[in-house]
Amino acid sequence: MSRGALEQALGARITGSRALHGGDLSEVFLATLADGREAVLKRGPRVAAEARMLRAIAATGARAPEVLAQAEGWLALEALPETAPSPAGWQALGQEVRRLHGCTGPGYGWAEGYGFGPLPLDNAPRPDWPGFWAEARLRPFLPHLPARLARRVAELAARLPDLLPAVPPAALLHGDLWTGNALFMQGAAALIDPACYHGHAEVDLAMLELFGTPPAAFWQGYGPTEPGREARRPVYQLFPALVHLRLFGGGYAGMVSGLLDQAGA
C-alpha cells in the first residue's frame, strides 16, 4: 500500500520509519518527516474510523494524539513523549477518563460499526442500555462458544434488565481501555487506540480492571463512582473476555467462566 497519499496529506516526505509495538491487531510505525517532524503512522482497514474517534475524544477536552492526516488506509498521529507510568500520570489518566465520560450522547451505540481485527462490533444504536449490552456485546458470541458457556452467557443476557441500569447517562466511552491504550507522559496521560461508542461509564472502568488494579492515584483523578459498581463489574468484563476468547483461543475460557461465576450465571 503506497504512502504517497499520506505524504501529500502531511505536506512532507517520510524519510524513515521504525516499527513500534502496536498490540496484536495493528501495524504501527514511528516515522521521521523531511521537515523534521515525527509522526506515529498506523496502517489498517479501520484507520478512518479511528481518526473520527480520536477527534471525538479530543473534542471533549480529554487528551488524545492529534490526527495529522488520514489517507488510503494510513493514519498519521502526533508523536507524544511517552514515559513510564507514575502516580501523577495515573492521576492524570483518571482526570482524562472522567473528562471523556462527562460528554454524553443521545443514546447507546455509535454512528458506525467497528471491530477488533477480524471481529466486527455492532454499534447500532439501541434505546435501552441492558438491551444494547445483551444484543451488541454478549449475544453475538453465542454461535462461537462451547454449548455450556453459550447457555450461561445467554442466561446472563436475559437477566440484564435486573442487573444493569436501564438508562444510565450515555457517556462517551474509550471502548478498549486497558493500560496498553493509555499513553503516559511526564505528569500527564493520553488516550490512544479507541473503540468508541456511547454507554455506561463503568464499561471503561471494568475494562481497566480486567488485567490489573489501577492504583489509588487513578481513582483520585477520576473521582467518585456509582454504588453497586463492583456487582456490575464482571458483567462488563465479560465482553472483553469473550473478545479475547474469540481472537486468541481457549486459554481465555477460564476467564470467561470465572466472570460468569462472579455475575451469578
| Cβ(121)–Cβ(243) below 8 Å | no
- The mean pLDDT value for 200-218 works out to 97
Q: Which residue has the higher pLDDT, 2 or 215?
A: 215
Angle between helix axes 229-248 and 253-262 (nearest 10 degrees) is: 160
The pLDDT value recorded for residue 1 is 45
% pLDDT > 90, the chain: 83
User: Residue 45 pLDDT > 80, yes or no?
Assistant: yes
| Pair (53, 118) in one structural domain | no
| Pair (255, 165) in one structural domain | yes
Structural domain harbouring 117: 87-262
The pLDDT value recorded for residue 26 is 65
User: Taking all residues of the chain, what is their mean pLDDT, rounded to a whole number?
Assistant: 94
Could you read off the pLDDT of 147-199 as tens digits, one per residue? 999 999 999 999 999 999 999 999 999 999 999 999 999 999 999 999 999 99
The pLDDT value recorded for residue 7 is 83
Q: What is the DSSP string of 103-114?
A: -B-SSBB-SS-E
User: Residue 83 pLDDT > 50, yes or no?
Assistant: yes
| Pair (118, 150) in one structural domain | yes
Angle between helix axes 229-248 and 147-163 (nearest 10 degrees) is: 150
How many independent structural domains does the chain possess? 2
% pLDDT > 70, the chain: 97
Return d(Cα 222, Cα 208) in angstroms, integer: 13
Q: In this structure, what C-alpha cell is assigned to residue 181?
A: 491504550
**Which of residues 30, 45, 78 is at a domain's end?**
78
CATH number at residue 239: 3.90.1200.10
| Pair (93, 57) in one structural domain | no
Q: Binning pLDDT at 50, 70 and 90, where does residue 64 land? A: very high
The pLDDT value recorded for residue 213 is 93
| Pair (71, 201) in one structural domain | no
- The mean pLDDT value for 124-151 works out to 97
CATH number at residue 47: 3.30.200.20
**Which of residues 22, 52, 78 is at a domain's end?**
78
| Pair (21, 56) in one structural domain | yes
| Pair (18, 69) in one structural domain | yes
| Pair (113, 158) in one structural domain | yes
Sheet holding 27-33, edge to edge: 14-20, 27-33, 38-43, 74-78, 67-71
| Pair (217, 104) in one structural domain | yes
**Which of residues 44, 78, 112 is at a domain's end?**
78
| Pair (181, 137) in one structural domain | yes
Catalytic residue numbers? 176
Could you read off the pLDDT of 86-127 as tens digits, one per residue? 999 999 999 999 999 999 999 999 999 999 988 999 999 999
| Pair (92, 10) in one structural domain | no
How many helices and strands (H and E) does the chain possess? Answer: 9, 11
- The mean pLDDT value for 205-226 works out to 97
Q: In this structure, what C-alpha cell is assigned to residue 30?
A: 514511528
- Sign of the Cα torsion 156, 263, 175, 173 reads positive
- The mean pLDDT value for 64-87 works out to 93
| Pair (92, 171) in one structural domain | yes
